Amino acid sequence: MKLVRYKNEEFAAEFGCVEGNHVYKLIGDPLGKPGRGELVGELGSIKLLAPCVPRKVAAVAINFPGIERYSPDMKEPLVLLKPGTSVCGPGDPVINPFPDLPWWGEAELGVVIRHTLRNVGEDRVREGVLGFTIGNDASVENVEGRDHHLARSKAPDTFCPLGPWIDTEFDASDCVIEAVQNGEVIRRGRTSQQVWQWPRVVSWLSTWMTLEPWDVVLTGNPPDTVGMRFIQHGDIYTARIQGLGELTNPFYVRGK
């Protein structure tokens, strides 16, 4: 099932599901065993929101060979946190509040948590996962040469587009991830090439961080194909994953 959140006629957020080109109301608990309700309308005519509102987004960095600073001697992933306030939905503008600093997007596979996970083995991780979505780990360079994995670079409002849906049946073991900037593919990789596969990432995180329902784990940005490409005011950025969908957002610099 493809779970979505959308604005209903009263402009309130409501859960639905997508079948073909249509959105239907969702019956029951989206974290349980929901069913399909009445037709809402065609997909293209409905404003989709971020498919969930996580309390936190745990994002893994340097998870592909070929990424800057990757080393085969790394003993564990580099992890950063993005707050729930950084999340926005498909088509929402991503706003850079630091106009004098370069910035970029990062197309990533997102794992959405269904049940509270704490010290869970890899063989049991899937039981606690609701499904998969697409994320864009928007990032801005930090001041004074500070590491761009710090909160100031990763946590501003709107810096984590998610969507367009959560696919509860998706097979994420070997699919192509691409970042497309203004129509040009600038990053590409396969999930099977990731150093840490998503079950291992989620299991490892759960050994030292409690993962809660609706939390999202982003699993890493694929290598660039054209050299580092920074974002310019007004650029259109699409994160897409083979078989899962596309997430497109405009990027703007505040004050321009």
At 170, which CATH number? 3.90.850.10
pLDDT confidence of residue 206? 98
191 and 94 co-located in one domain: yes
What is the tens place of the pLDDT at every residue in 155-206?
999 999 999 999 999 999 999 999 999 999 999 999 999 999 999 999 999 9
Banded pLDDT at 9 (limits 50, 70, 90): confident
Start-to-end CA distance of the chain, whole Å, equals 40
pLDDT confidence of residue 60? 96
Q: What is d(CA 25, CA 4) in angstroms, rounded to the nearest whole number?
A: 9
If DSSP codes are grouped into helix, strand and coil, which group holds residue 153? Answer: helix
What is the tens place of the pLDDT at every residue in 73-125?
888 889 999 999 999 999 999 999 999 999 999 999 999 999 999 999 999 99
pLDDT confidence of residue 56? 98
Banded pLDDT at 127 (limits 50, 70, 90): very high
33 and 112 co-located in one domain: no
89 and 155 co-located in one domain: yes
Are the C-beta atoms of residues 104 and 230 closer than 8 Å to each other?
yes
pLDDT confidence of residue 10? 83
Is the pLDDT score of 248 beyond 90? yes
Q: What is the mean pLDDT of residues 36-46?
A: 95
107 and 83 co-located in one domain: yes
pLDDT confidence of residue 73? 83
Q: What is the mean pLDDT of residues 27-40?
A: 96
HSE (CB half, 13 Å, CA atoms) of 167? 17
pLDDT confidence of residue 70? 74
pLDDT confidence of residue 42? 96
Tokens 């596309």 locate to 246
Q: What is the CATH number of the domain that holds 44?
A: 2.30.30.370
164 and 202 co-located in one domain: yes
Banded pLDDT at 220 (limits 50, 70, 90): very high
DSSP output for 13-77: EEEEEEETTEEEEEES-TTS--EEEEEEEEGGGS-EEPS---SEEEEEES-STTSTT--TT--S-
- What value, to the nearest 5°, has the Cα angle with vertex 66 and ends 187 and 81? 75
120 and 232 co-located in one domain: yes
Write out the residue range of the structural domain in which residue 196 sits: 50-253
DSSP H helical segments within the chain, as ranges?
151-154, 198-206
Going through 100-183 in order, the beta strands assigned E by DSSP cover 103-104, 107-113, 129-136, 139-140, 160-167, 176-181
136 and 163 co-located in one domain: yes
54 and 8 co-located in one domain: no
Q: Which residue would you say has higher pLDDT here, 209 or 10?
A: 209
40 and 104 co-located in one domain: no
144 and 237 co-located in one domain: yes
Are the C-beta atoms of residues 41 and 115 closer than 8 Å to each other?
no
Q: What is d(CA 55, CA 89) in angstroms, rounded to the nearest whole number?
A: 15
41 and 59 co-located in one domain: no
Rg, the chain, Cα only: 17
pLDDT confidence of residue 218? 98
Average pLDDT, the chain: 96
- What value, to the nearest 5°, has the Cα angle with vertex 5 and ends 12 and 251? 95
| DSSP label of 119 | S
What is the tens place of the pLDDT at every residue in 50-74?
999 999 999 999 999 988 777 888 8
58 and 126 co-located in one domain: yes
Q: In one letter, which amino acid is 142?
A: N
If DSSP codes are grouped into helix, strand and coil, which group holds residue 102? Answer: coil
Provide the domain count of the chain.
2
Is the pLDDT score of 32 beyond 80? yes
pLDDT confidence of residue 147? 85
